[in-house]
Chain A
Amino acid sequence: SQKIEQNSEALNIQEGKTATLTCNYTNYSPAYLQWYRQDPGRGPVFLLLIRENEKEKRKERLKVTFDTTLKQSLFHITASQPADSATYLCAPEGVSGGYNKLIFGAGTRLAVHP
């Protein structure tokens, strides 16, 4: 079955450092992959989408890579700030039952300390 794995442990880093979050997927080949941020008690907020033919995508302090050979995506936040503290969800897209749908990882909780 399709499976998504993200760092299960919380990631604690110092303000100003770069945070790197990992997403590995198995048993399928997504056409694209999306990253979301979720704060407690709130719905996910879309951050970035990267397609299978794109190696890297950037948006302000965010950078996402997509390695279809390793079946892995890395999500980087540079110059991290305490306001970046949240849970980050990886969601590769797959096709099941004739429909495109996102399959979510469990998320990685990031805590940026001043």
Chain B
Amino acid sequence: GAVVSQHPSWVICKSGTSVKIECRSLDFQATTMFWYRQFPKQSLMLMATSNEGSKATYEQGVEKDKFLINHASLTLSTLTVTSAHPEDSSFYICSARDLAGEVQYFGPGTRLTVT
């Protein structure tokens, strides 16, 4: 149990375009989902916390207009990178917290490359 999926697993896009990444909790309901990014050989950096049915809370330094997060249901959250630039190239990972509110289960990650 406790599986989180992400789609796509990798994506290449041109500079200036937008990319949407989906995160789904497959066998449990998640009131809270998180989005992280990870650069090579670095730790996970939290970008934002999203709660189902409400606006996401962004970490300091993360542009909310650039990284749009939607958490429309208890099993789906999406991250849209708008007007992507090469510096947005990174590994994006989502996680979902179970209803008990403790353990976070992570998706397999999405590798974004902006050319």
Contact = CB atoms under 8 A, between A and B. Distances in A.
Interface residues of A, number: 22
A40 to B, nearest CB: 10
Contacts of A34: 103-104
B44 A44 contact: yes
Interface stretch (A17-25, A52-60, A98-106): A98-106
Interface string A84-114: 0000010001000101111111110000000
Given A101-B46, A104-B44, A49 B102 contact: yes
A89 B46 contact: no
Contacts of B103: 34, 46, 49
Contact of B43 (A46, A49, A106): A106
Given A104-B44, A106-B42, A42 B102 contact: no
A97 B105 contact: no
B104 A43 contact: no
Interface in A73-89: 89
B102 to A, nearest CB: 6
Interface string B1-39: 010101000000000000000000000000010100000
B79 interface: no
A97 B29 CA distance: 23
Contacts of B2: 46
B111 A43 contact: no
Given A34-B103, A34-B104, A41 B34 contact: no
Given A44-B93, A44-B106, 20 more contacts: A34-B104, A41-B91, A42-B109, A43-B95, A43-B107, A43-B108, A43-B109, A45-B106, A46-B2, A46-B104, A49-B102, A99-B49, A99-B57, A101-B34, A101-B46, A101-B49, A102-B46, A104-B44, A105-B43, A106-B43
